[in-house]
Amino acid sequence: MRTGMRQGPEIWIRGPVAAPEPGPPAALPRATARRFSWVGAHGGSGVSTLAAVYGGHDSGRDWPGPGDPWSVLLVARTHAAGLDAVVPAVEAFRRGEAPRGLALDAVVLVADAPGRLPRPLAQRIRLVESVIDVYRVPWVPEWRLGDLSGRPPRGTEPLARLTGAVR
């Protein structure tokens, strides 16, 4: 489960990984939907859908560019491969390997299927939650059909408040 993680005396702090350095001159207020750049930890994570529903910049799997919001929401699916991709990405921020000035605000985990998660996946998510804020997005059948017109799904109110998508 911890394959590829460094062993050592480093201390993990829960919450944002790094404070943003002075960045773009006109930072947007926290209440607007355009404050964040969504970055996928892996292909198919749901970045484009989340950016369309909650607002913000769709960075795909790339780092935000110079004109994009510097606050990052890292996105992954809740399957094993998605969760495997989250840890190295969080580590990149923690070790200072992300581009200078970017700040990882939270991880957003998108359900990979309807229903409850198997226990091993739920345990892995708890490990991620122990080091950074995690927002969960449930399976939304309408999104699978391309219908992004509804309100954000029930249970995602904290994420909607964070991104300013509260209607």
Which one is predicted more confidently, 88 or 22?
Answer: 88
Give yes or no for residue 52 having a pLDDT over 90.
Answer: yes
Query: Considering only 20-24, 108-112, 153-157, which range has the smallest mean pLDDT?
Result: 20-24
Give pLDDT, residue 1. 35
Give pLDDT, residue 35. 78
Q: Considering the chain, what is the average pLDDT of its residues? A: 83
| Residue boundaries of the structural domains of the chain | 36-163
Give yes or no for residue 69 having a pLDDT over 50.
Answer: yes
Q: Is the pTM value of this prediction over 0.85?
A: no
Three-class DSSP labels, the chain: CCCCCCCCCCCCCCCCCCCCCCCCCCCCCCCCCCCEEEEECCCCCCHHHHHHHHCCEECCCCCCCCCCCCEEEEEEECCHHHHHHHHHHHHHHHCCCCCCCCEEEEEEEECCCCCCCCHHHHHHHHHHHCCCCEEEECCCHHHHCCCCCCCCCCCCHHHHHHHCCCC
Give yes or no for residue 145 having a pLDDT over 80.
Answer: yes
With cut-offs at 50, 70 and 90, classify the pLDDT of residue 18: low
What average pLDDT does range 111-126 have in this prediction?
Answer: 95
Q: Could you give the angle at which helices 80-94 and 119-129 cross, rounded to 10 degrees?
A: 10
With cut-offs at 50, 70 and 90, classify the pLDDT of residue 85: very high
Give yes or no for residue 101 having a pLDDT over 80.
Answer: yes
